[in-house]
Amino acid sequence: YISPHLHQIFSDQEKSDIFCHYLSHLHDKPLDSSDPLELFGALVQAFYRAAINPDPNKAISTNQIIENPELVSFMRNEIGMFKHEQAMVAKALHMQSTLRKKDDFERRGERRQMAVLQTEAFPLALQFASRDYSLSGEKWLFWTQHYEKSRDKIQIAQKRVRRKKKRTSSYKSKTSRTGSE
């Protein structure tokens, strides 16, 4: 088989129905077809809900997701996802439980709120929650409005982090050159 894991899903009528439901409604929500992460994410979400955890309200850690041998094999070997893409999808699946905790988020200070919104997987988690219908309309609107309001701050913070990473990597390369001479 080209994809043994998909063969397993299509061999079980219930799993097949769940998987096909997700795929058939793929374009009901906005999807950037030029972004591989969004495309892979939608496919992995359908697989994850069909084969591993059909309940989007069940909280699960990123490590439990990324250490699932069935899921890792599907992502890496069968659809060819990079490790970074795998980690982003796992974080987004995990973040769905965070999105349900609106009250906890509101009690936090601004810095901690920004930390949640700045998470690289946050936009993908919102997409997953929308496709899973795991958030009420009110909560979904709350999160999208907070994200949009904070978008400028998020972009500035991400640029700052990128600059710091570039400096440290160039510093290491300079010191390694001088140390080897």
| pLDDT tens sequence across 156-180 | 877 776 665 554 544 554 544 455 4
Percent with pLDDT over 90 in the chain: 67
Residue 165 burial (CB < 10 Å; 0-12/13-18/19+)?
exposed
pLDDT in tens, 86-113: 999 999 999 999 999 999 999 999 899 9
Distance CA 102, CA 143 (A): 8
Q: In 3D, which of 12, 102, 4 has the Cα closest to residue 54?
A: 12
Read off the pTM: 0.81
Token digits for 170?
């160039």
Q: Which residues of 55-77 are buried (b: 16+ CB within 10 A; e: fewer)?
A: ebeeebebeebbebeebbebbee
**Pairwise CA distance, residues 128 & 31, whole Å:** 11
Phi, psi angles (nearest 5°) of residue 33: -70, -10
- Mean pLDDT for the chain? 87
Tell me how far apart the alpha carbons of residues 23 and 47 are, in angstroms, rounded to a whole number.
Answer: 10
Give me the residue spans of the domains in the chain. 4-180
Quick one: CA dihedral 88, 130, 19, 54, positive or negative?
A: positive
Q: What is the pLDDT of residues 8-23, one digit of tens each?
A: 999 999 999 999 999 9
Q: What is the pLDDT of residue 166?
A: 52
Task: Give the separation between CA 69 and CA 54, rounded to whole angstroms.
Answer: 17
What is the predicted pLDDT for the residue at 164? 57
